[in-house]
């Protein structure tokens, strides 16, 4: 049953479908989907392997508006093959970014420069474990095409990453997520280049126990990433809360948005390496050790305390520290 746009604003981002998130993030009645279920663009690889397919290949892409801003939306569905990227859904994702750049270039040609109040925006709701093993080469190509477009969009088209759904952003999609200009999350968001099971397989259960959910959340969860500065805005779990934050970002000048960026320059690489160096020098064995180093008290209570309280007491890593 279709949910009205106003109802979507109060709906849990975590519980919403990819299509509901895409519709609810932009102005009412403005979302237009590209290659939706009626077009039946399915993965040919899954068919050959006898796997189930979805007519949208587990991703919703399209364009809407927020005020005068054209907003290009990519929303992944983690309930289908773990949101993993393959040939078809990867192509839909990369081509949506290309359309955003085409829009930017068209506005620049028309006005001489792109007006700040009309600049295109990209929003990606990540809900993916990485690349589909069924079609790994095609998925990896899609990842590289997405990263190429991110490079082209830098300082031109704001690129907003959201991790707030069931799977999180893992594998190469974790890297793509962190390559956005701004990262938004709710308390369900997770980001990691390598999943817990793979880490355990490589280093052993004594080093990292993939069955220890508390360990996973304080290592890869949104609150831990917020303290580390990897998540820029930690939000309540409603589509409306994310939409409101996107609206605020859209109204910022591109130069201000770029200050949130986490990757993409030698200085940012050095800054991230400085955290690794600090962990080695201080002998941190757990995220809680870093939280204590930052001066936070009652670290055992951080995962369970109400979000509003957490945001008041959280001490975040500052750039260059």
Phi, psi of 186 (to 5 degrees): -105, -170
What is residue 140's predicted lDDT score, i.e. its pLDDT?
87
Read off the pLDDT of each residue in 34-45 and give the average, rounded to a whole number.
87
CA dist 202 → 44, 174, 206, 210, 296 (Å): 32, 19, 11, 11, 32
Tell me, what's the pLDDT at 320?
53
pLDDT band for position 1 (50/70/90)? Answer: low
Q: How far apart are CA 178 and CA 318, in angstroms?
A: 17
* pTM, entire model: 0.93
The pLDDT-based confidence of 253 (bands split at 50, 70, 90) is very high
Report the alpha-carbon angle 278-284-288, nearest 5: 115
Structure-model confidence comparison of residues 313 and 52, the more confident one: 313
What is the C-alpha to C-alpha distance for residues 287 and 217, in angstroms, rounded to an integer? Answer: 10
Mean pLDDT of 96-101: 97
Q: Backbone phi, then psi, for 276, in 5-degree steps?
A: -60, -45
pLDDT for res 105:
96
Region of poorest pLDDT, from 84-98, 214-228, 263-277: 263-277
State yes or no: pLDDT of 321 exceeds 60: no
Q: pLDDT tens, 180-226? A: 999 999 999 999 988 788 888 888 888 888 888 888 888 899 999 99
Flag whether pLDDT at 318 surpasses 90. Answer: no
Domain 5-186+235-262 CATH superfamily: 2-enoyl-CoA Hydratase; Chain A, domain 1 (3.90.226.10)
Looking at mean pLDDT, say which of 65-79, 133-147, 288-302 comes out highest.
Answer: 65-79
Q: Give the domain ranges of the chain.
A: 5-186+235-262
pLDDT level of residue 41 (50, 70, 90 thresholds): confident
């Amino acid at each position: 049953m279709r949910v009205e746009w106003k109802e979507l604003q109060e709906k849990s981002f975590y519980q919403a479908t990819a299509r509901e998130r895409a519709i609810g993030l932009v102005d009412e009645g403005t979302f237009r989907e590209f290659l939706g279920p009626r077009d039946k663009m399915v993965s040919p690889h899954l068919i050959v392997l006898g796997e189930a397919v979805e007519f949208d290949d587990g991703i919703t892409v399209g364009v809407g508006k927020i005020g005068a801003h054209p907003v290009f939306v990519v929303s992944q569905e983690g309930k289908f093959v773990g949101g993993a990227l393959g040939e078809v859904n990867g192509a839909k994702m990369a081509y949506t970014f290309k359309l955003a750049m085409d829009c930017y270039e068209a506005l620049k040609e028309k006005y001489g420069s792109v007006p700040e109040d009309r600049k295109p925006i990209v929003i990606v709701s990540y809900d993916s474990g990485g690349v589909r093993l069924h079609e790994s080469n095609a998925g990896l190509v899609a990842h590289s095409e997405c990263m190429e477009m991110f490079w082209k969009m830098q300082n031109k088209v704001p690129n907003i990453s959201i991790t707030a759904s069931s799977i999180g952003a893992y594998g190469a999609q974790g890297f793509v997520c962190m390559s956005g200009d701004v990262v938004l999350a709710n308390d369900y968001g997770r980001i990691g280049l390598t999943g817990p099971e793979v880490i355990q397989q490589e280093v052993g259960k004594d080093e990292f126990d993939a069955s220890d959910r508390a360990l996973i959340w304080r290592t890869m969860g949104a609150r831990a990433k917020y303290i580390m500065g990897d998540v820029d805005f930690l939000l309540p779990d409603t589509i409306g809360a994310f939409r409101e934050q996107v609206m605020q970002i859209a109204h910022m000048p591109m130069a201000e948005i770029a200050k949130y960026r986490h990757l993409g320059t030698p200085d940012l690489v050095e800054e991230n390496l400085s955290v690794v160096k600090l962990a080695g020098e201080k002998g941190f064995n757990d995220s809680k050790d870093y939280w204590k180093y930052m001066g936070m008290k009652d670290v055992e209570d951080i995962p369970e305390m109400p979000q509003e309280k957490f945001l008041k007491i959280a001490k975040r890593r500052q750039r260059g520290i």
